[in-house]
Structure 1
Amino acid sequence: MASPAASSPVPVSATARLDAASDETLTGEAVALDVQPLGFFLRAAGCLIDMVAGILLLIAGSLLLSVLVASGTIPDSAFRIGVIVLLVAVTVAIPTAVETLSRGRSLGRWAVGGRIVRVDGGAPGFRQALIRALAGVLELWFTLGGLAAIVGMFTPRAQRLGDLLAGTACERTRTRPLPTAAPGIPPGMEAWAAVADVSRLPDRLAARMAQFVRGADALEPAARARVAAGLADAVRPYVAPLPAADPETLVRAAAAVRRDREYRALILENERAAALTPTSGA
């Protein structure tokens, strides 16, 4: 998210909403999920792994058919039929079945840490998997991934043509680790923390605040007060309501509130990723 200017707090919120819109997943209940789409190059790597696996299956199946024909187990006329069935199985049937049963996973996506989900955040079904597989025949196999790459470069979530037709996208399944423990809300700031709005804090400023909180005790008093005052001046335009607190207390309180809310968001994201993972009995 781009860091908005401190001198214009009103456009800050508008800019933040616009920047976040391309990465948010809106559920059917109109709840925005902060999920991370899988990047273009990781998607390409996963797709390449899946295509290599498919080619290996085609080679193995063709060799098996050749052996059966050579041994007289099946007639020569059945070889062409077998090749056609093998092509349909590798390019459409197997990808559809794997994606449906694994709820959006495949060998390649498992390797790069991705999963196909619906645009509302739910697991894809048979219809979405079939549409993606049928579109993949054109954009992956006939064009060797060229069409998928061109479409993916110009879509916000690196979606290929099959994703656009099926209403799906690929998200990361390897979520960020939960943040390490940090000092809590300073005494006397609990009431303010319950109603504080720190969502407009830029990521870089939040990182500087967290770094200061972790290392403040090791600073000289004069340097500590100077750094806290500078951070507090940068924080004030992004915090509402503004508490009546000294600079260091303000920075510590804002950092603690931001961390607690990120912690809860990561827990919900991990729980949602776990809910999409098929159980052993599925």
Structure 2
Amino acid sequence: MITDPLAPMPPGQNRQAGVAGLVGVDELDFSDELVTGEAVVLELRPASFITRALAVSADVIVTVVGILLISWLFYATTGNIDPAAGSALGLVATLAVLIGIPILVETLTRGKSLGKWLAGLRVVRDDGGPIRARHALIRGLLAVLEIYWSLGAIALVASLLNRRGKRLGDLVAGTYVIRERQPRQSPPLIIMPPHLAPWVRNADLGRLPDPLARACRQFLARASRLAPEARQRLGWSLAGQLGELVAPPPPPGTHPEDFLAAVLAERRDRDYARLWRESQQRAALRNSRAAASPLSATGFGLPDHD
């Protein structure tokens, strides 16, 4: 069995067999994170139960006050109306305040209510996108059952049993509540290991898949908080997968975490250099067009031909 995933493979052997039994990227739990095309992880942290309870309490207070106010205005202005018609209108007005207005507000604000706005929360889909009218409708209808009818008991039990704190309406609608206002944290800076800089400068890094880049970056950021055994296994596993895309292999005896850091740092530096060259080329093109004669094709902003 091969003990070093970074070592060259003998002919006829598969590297996956050499790293059999090692953990994969699934050990890093990205279930509450989204990744952009640049392998930048966006953490959508579910709101805590206490914060959600405060937001729901504010919404309930506003709803109850609204129902009482509408009831007072209704009975004060419709004293001579038929009792059956008055009851029907009162029921419609109550349902509008209890269900209709919350659904409309969440739809128009893309997942916010007054209570959630005060608490810095927002309802999003399971994939992190903004909710639509059908999501708000399902949440609003089931809120009558689990919040008002059961006095919050059903919502409490469902939230405590779900790791994202979902109530019954969220489970059915495919949504959950996130903390929208949270401290902005800069991604950890990947430091180039000095002893690997000469090697990686001339290495072919290939095409690094975004999921693997994300896993490597997050592993380096969390390595100090992992158990030693899990840290070692996951480091070797990621290094083995990354080693398939890098040529030539790093010097013998390279630590897997140094290998990951060197590749990610070099990838970042190459991307920055490429972007700088492109910006310089655009600036030079703008300057040449500004200095060109108005009668020339370049002066009129026509496309240049090689």
Query: What range is the shorter-chain TM-score in?
Result: 0.5 to 0.7
Amino acid at match of 2:154: L
Amino acid at match of 1:110: W
Is 1:9–1:237's contact at 8 Å kept on the other side of the alignment? no
1:145 deviation in Å?
1.2
Partner Cα distance (2:133, 2:235) in 1: 51
Matched, 1:168 2:178: no
RMSD between superposed Cα atoms in Å: 4.2
With 145-154 and 121-130 compared, the bigger mean Cα shift is at 121-130
1:66 deviation in Å?
3.2
With 114-123 and 185-194 compared, the bigger mean Cα shift is at 185-194
Q: 1:25 to 1:140 in 2, by over 3 A?
A: farther
1:25 deviation in Å?
6.2
Secondary structure in 2 aligned to 1:20? coil
Secondary structure in 1 aligned to 2:30? helix
Amino acid at match of 1:16: E
Partner Cα distance (2:204, 2:46) in 1: 31
Which residues of 2 match residues 174-193 of structure 1 at below 5 A? Answer: 174-179=181-186, 185=192, 188=198, 189=200
Which residues of 2 match residues 189-228 of structure 1 at below 5 A? Answer: 189=200, 198-199=216-217, 201=219, 203-206=221-224
Please tell me whether Structure 1 or Structure 2 has the larger radius of gyration of its CA atoms. Answer: 2
Is 1:131–1:166's contact at 8 Å kept on the other side of the alignment? yes
Partner Cα distance (2:263, 2:119) in 1: 33
The answer for unaligned runs of 5 or more in structure 2 is 1-18, 227-231, 244-248, 269-306
Amino acid at match of 1:120: D
Amino acid at match of 1:45: L
Is 1:119–1:167's contact at 8 Å kept on the other side of the alignment? yes
Matched, 1:36 2:42: no
Which residues of 2 match residues 243-282 of structure 1 at below 5 A? Answer: 243-244=250-251, 250=258, 253=261, 257=265
Give me the identity figure in percent. Answer: 31
Is 2:190–2:261's contact at 8 Å kept on the other side of the alignment? no
Matched, 1:13 2:39: no
TM-score, with normalisation over the residues of structure 2?
A: 0.57
Q: Residues 2-35 of structure 1: CA distance to partner in whole angstroms, max 9, x if unpaired?
A: xxxxxx9954426515x334x25699xxxx9753
Judging by fraction of residues, say which structure has more helix.
Answer: 1
Amino acid at match of 1:43: R
1:127 deviation in Å?
1.5
Is 1:243–1:250's contact at 8 Å kept on the other side of the alignment? no
Partner Cα distance (2:218, 2:188) in 1: 23
Which residues of 2 match residues 65-76 of structure 1 at below 5 A? Answer: 65-69=74-78, 72=79, 75=81
Amino acid at match of 1:138: L
Partner Cα distance (1:168, 1:107) in 2: 18
Partner Cα distance (1:193, 1:182) in 2: 22
Q: Residues 23-58 of structure 1: CA distance to partner in whole angstroms, max 9, x if unpaired?
A: 25699xxxx975322222222222121111111111
Q: 1:202 to 1:87 in 2, by over 3 A?
A: farther
Partner Cα distance (2:139, 2:44) in 1: 21
Is 1:26–1:119's contact at 8 Å kept on the other side of the alignment? no
Partner Cα distance (1:193, 1:143) in 2: 62
Matched, 1:106 2:109: no
Amino acid at match of 2:219: L
Q: 1:20 to 1:182 in 2, by over 3 A?
A: closer
Aligned to 1:53: 62
Aligned to 1:125: 132
Q: 1:138 to 1:255 in 2, by over 3 A?
A: farther
